[in-house]
Amino acid sequence: MRIIDPHMHMVSRSADDYDRARRAGIECCIEPAFWSGTDKQHAGSFFDYFEHIIDFETERAERSAGMDHYVTIGLEPKEANYEAMAETVLERLPAYLDRENVVGVGEIGYDQQTEAEDRAFRRQLRMAEERELPVIVHTPHENKPSGTERIVDVIEEEGVTQERIVIDHNTAETIETSLQTDCWIGFTLYPGKIEADAAIDLLEEYGTDRMLFNSAADWDPSDPLAVPKARDEMLDRGWSRDEVRKVVLENPHEFFSRSPNFEYEL
């Protein structure tokens, strides 16, 4: 069964990880810009990083595993708090959103829920709305329920198209809040976020419409095969192949097909 993983930080991974993921069924991945482990000191560091994931990682995915690789670009919330640097990044961000294999804005949202993060979040939501691009929204690691409520409030206040937004890193504590919107619901199968069995339990309760599984697959303990393993667990638990295919392939395809640059075909 083919898989699209809609949130993988493959810049953190080896060529062997690309190969393993492809052999497990992941034919396509989306790599959001994110906090890469240490705070950047210069705006130019963002631009070098953006170029790296747009060009080199896309080429490496194809060369290593024949995998389709797309990118979303954004100023993630943690570094939005360096306001002078953030302003320079935000000024140049639109040029990156027009690049050939960039399919959205993200990940954006909240870390510590500061006013600086709020301003950057709103501004990037508007950039995405102007270009009719999908958006990946990062719910905070701490105070996640209140952060998710704040995300929903901002999305509603800005009046942006909710069907082009995925609220990511949901848990049992946040799903009711996220489901108050018409946004998509992301589950990151990752230690400290949500385990696959708990995410599948939530699908059994709330259904599969607008639901996405992803691995993140970054530099912390994580698993680039998390989505294939969840696929297998769903099948083992008696889900039909059509239901599983919807979650791991059709839903992420439908979401990113809103971008004119997303060309992966079912």
**Range 3-256 has CATH code 3.20.20.140:** yes
Q: Which amino acid is at 16?
A: D
Q: Quick one: pLDDT at residue 249?
A: 98
Nearest-angstrom CA–CA distance, 36 and 49? 9
Query: What sign does the CA torsion over 37, 75, 115, 153 have?
Result: negative
Domain boundaries, the chain: 3-256
Q: Quick one: pLDDT at residue 35?
A: 95
pLDDT mean over 72-97: 98
How far from 45 is each of 35, 39, 92, 199, CA to CA, in Å? 12, 10, 13, 35
CB 212 within 8 A of CB 185: yes
pLDDT mean over 27-44: 96
Q: Is the pLDDT of residue 186 over 90?
A: yes
Q: Is the pLDDT of residue 3 over 90?
A: yes
pLDDT mean over 81-99: 97
Q: Is the pLDDT of residue 237 over 90?
A: yes
The predicted-structure confidence for 220-236, as pLDDT tens digits, reads as follows 999 999 999 999 999 99
The predicted-structure confidence for 91-100, as pLDDT tens digits, reads as follows 999 999 999 9
SS3 state of residue 127: helix
The predicted-structure confidence for 129-173, as pLDDT tens digits, reads as follows 999 999 999 999 999 999 999 999 999 999 999 999 999 999 999
Strand segments, DSSP code E, in the chain are: 3-5, 26-32, 68-73, 102-109, 135-138, 165-168, 184-188, 211-214
Q: Quick one: pLDDT at residue 192?
A: 87
pTM: 0.98
> Within 10 A of 223 (CB to CB), how many other CB atoms are there?
18
